[in-house]
Amino acid sequence: MPRTLTAVAALAVAGLALAGCTSSAPSDDSSAAVLGTVDTMFGEVSVPEPTGDLTVVALGWSDAEMALALGVVPAAVYDWQGFGADNKGVGPWATDLFGDVTPEIIEDSGDTVNYEQIQALEPDLILNTRSAGDEKQFERLSEIAPTVYAPTGTAAFATPWDVQLEQVAASLGKTEEGDALVSATKQSINEAAELHQEFAGLTTVAATKFGDAYGAYLEGDGRFDILADLGFQQNPAVLDLEPAGFYASVSAEQVAAFDADVAVILPIGFTAAETTADPLLASLAVVQSGRAIVLDPADELTQAYSAASVLSIPVVLEQLVPKLADAAAKVAE
């Protein structure tokens, strides 16, 4: 698995080197030149070629990591996962790609956006490709700068990682680089699946516990998608739940939907030990037989699993796949 991380990181660093040569170059006719064009849920968005350094504000979940993988350093990052200023608002696996640049950190404020803070940055481009998909927010952001969202038909916060990377790449005029990163990452995932053909056909659930509630991540959310790409199938009981964008709410009476062949449980606001001790979860056969992987919110793996970016996926492959293999081995016991 370390080779996976090295390959993707090398592509990202190569992109950063190229960006250093091209992103700040003014066009002969900046009023007509276009950096990139992309189709979004709110129509086609064209990004003019900047006359100076390209200023990008990364608002969407993991948009900053997607830009960094393409060699573009955002001027500001919305810190969805609370990585903090020390990590420059991204996962520790991506921090070094900022180099000496210190981005402005936009604190997570829930459903609100500080438009004045964003406008003060005078961005050339705003990335919001994994977001709630709010049209009024899009209209207000577009008054500040060209704003790129997910494609038509994408549910809230349910932009697959490869589609997200393609949207970001198209907006930056880096479609070829984006395609190369997608191909390299998918190859790494496929290699992991080939090495673990025992995953094929096993049912799984990407579950969460938060407050007094539970939920299951659905297709379109990276936390489930990576499991599907490795060969697992969504537990049928989850498909019977009412979807709400990227996840389905699970009542206490429905927690049995988590009882798949293998479960990955991501607690929010609880430690792994507290989650394992939850009476409802502890009653499930998947937990009792050791086929549940309960992640610790403080671990790098958990953060990478939630980020679901082209830069975090190698971390997931390296650290989660062995745990999945151990759990899968217990299915036939």
CATH of the domain at 95: 3.40.50.1980
Per-residue pLDDT, averaged over 192-217, amounts to 96
Number of structural domains found in the chain: 2
Angle, helices 175-195/222-229, rounded to nearest 10 degrees? 60
What percent of the residues of the chain are helix, what percent strand, and what percent coil, each to the nearest 5? Answer: 45, 15, 40
Residue 21: what pLDDT?
35
User: pLDDT averaged over the chain?
Assistant: 91
Q: What DSSP designation does 97 have?
A: G
The last residue of one of the domains, among 187, 213, 231, is: 187
How far, in whole angstroms, is CA 102 from its chain's centroid?
22
Residue 158 lies in a domain: yes
For residue 181, pLDDT beyond 50:
yes
Q: Which residues contact 258 (CB under 8 A, 6 or more apart)?
A: 205, 207, 214, 216, 235, 250, 265, 281, 284, 286, 292
**d(C-alpha 100, C-alpha 83), whole Å:** 18
Residues 183 and 285 in one domain: no
Q: Provide the pLDDT confidence category of residue 110 given band limits of 50, 70 and 90.
A: confident
* Residues 81 and 182 reside in one and the same domain: yes
* 118/17 same-domain check: yes
Report the half-sphere exposure of 31 (CA within 13 A, side-chain side). Answer: 0
Task: Decide if pLDDT at 27 tops 70.
Answer: no
Per-residue confidence (pLDDT) for residue 29, from 0 to 100: 45
- Shared domain check, 175 and 205: no
Q: What is the pLDDT, as a whole number, of residue 111? A: 72
Among all chains, which residue has been given the structure tokens 């995932």? 189
* Local confidence band at 12 (pLDDT 50, 70, 90 cut-offs): low
For residue 6, the model assigns a pLDDT of 47
- What's the confidence (pLDDT) of residue 322? 98
Backbone angles phi, psi at 85, to 5 degrees: -65, -35
3-state DSSP call for residue 150? coil
| pLDDT band for position 131 (cuts 50, 70, 90) | very high
- Considering only 24-28, 97-101, 138-142, 189-193, which range has the smallest mean pLDDT? 24-28
Q: Is the dihedral of CA 248, 253, 258, 261 positive or negative?
A: negative
Is the predicted pLDDT of residue 75 greater than 60, yes or no?
yes
Section 50-66 average pLDDT: 97
The arithmetic mean of pLDDT across residues 294-301, rounded, is 95
Identify the domain containing residue 202 by its residue range: 197-329
pLDDT tens digits, residue range 224-283? 999 999 999 999 999 999 998 899 999 999 999 999 999 999 999 999 999 999 999 999
pLDDT at 17: 43
